[in-house]
Amino acid sequence: MATRTGRSQRRTDALSRERIVEAAVELLDTSGESGLTFRALTERLATGPGAIYWHVANKTELLDAATDAVVAAALAVRPSESPGSPQDEVRAVALGLFEATEEHPWLAAQLATQLSRNPSGTVAPRIFESLGRQVRALGVPEGHWFTATSALMHYVLGAAGQNAANTGSARALGPGTGRAEFLDAVSTAWEGLDPGDYPFTRAVAGQVRDHDDREQFLAGIDLVLTGITALSPPREASPAEKPSRRGGAGRYPPPDE
């Protein structure tokens, strides 16, 4: 009896929570949320359900942990070892999340669910902190930190989620149908709208067909950053930078000279 208990304990210790979450992410990527069951998980990990329940109480906790793990990995990506400007850091965070939603088709829906169901969990604060630190570094007054960071976060998750939804819609059209065919169908539909009711939408319909998703996403980030930096108070020039009323090289003479 002591031998069986010892073996069971060693098996539980070997099956870490991290390995369970990793297997859950793999199942979500291949089978979606409906395919993530404890039965499928026990088969993938070649273990019994008791060993999994030792680390994870239920499917909701497992989905939360899988989402947090993917988000943490996405936010850890940086364009280079040396830190860049706050704007560069924001773009890195945004692009990491954008690419994560592309790589993991289930992620966008889980992010939306967690942000509304469990905003005090780890996912929302993790993203908010990553963006908020850069908003603060931009010199935005403290009274605008929450609003500016919220606007940035909403754009990043909304645009990344919409892009993931578009990718999913393209897949749903059937084999051989990709992003190009999906966008062409949207563009064609917009071109056929009533010109009296939708003059602007018809005018940009061709851009829908030809645009690059990543470039458009980053352009939107730049637009939001432009608005956020407008909240920063103008920097006062140092005495050396201020024009002098005296004449001389690089100085302005007084008006009456």
Please tell me the predicted confidence (pLDDT) of residue 252. 42
Which amino acid type is present at position 179? R
Is the residue at 23 inside a domain?
no
Phi and psi angles of residue 175, each rounded to the nearest 5 degrees, phi first: -60, 140
Domain membership of residue 105 as a residue range: 82-229
pLDDT at 237 over 90: no
Mean pLDDT, residues 69-89: 81
Q: Is 63 among the domain residues?
A: no
User: Is residue 114 a part of any domain in this protein?
Assistant: yes
Percent of the chain with pLDDT over 70: 79
Residue 239 confidence class, pLDDT cut points 50, 70, 90:
low
In a domain, 250, yes or no: no
Spatial distance between the Cα atoms of 148 and 146, rounded to a whole number of angstroms? 6
The pLDDT, as a whole number, for residue 183 is: 85
- The pLDDT value given to residue 236: 56
How many domains are contained in the chain? 1
In a domain, 255, yes or no: no
Would residue 75 count as lying in a domain?
no
Model pTM score = 0.78
Instruction: Please report, for the domain that includes residue 127, its CATH number.
Output: 1.10.357.10
Handedness of CA 152, 222, 159, 203 (dihedral sign): positive
Decide if 21 contacts 62 (C-beta within 8 A): yes
Closest CA to 108 of 156, 72, 60: 156
Of 9-18, 120-129, 208-217, which range is least confident?
9-18
For position 242, what pLDDT does the model report? 52
What does the block give as tokens for 13?
A: 């210790």
228, pLDDT greater than 50: yes
In a domain, 54, yes or no: no
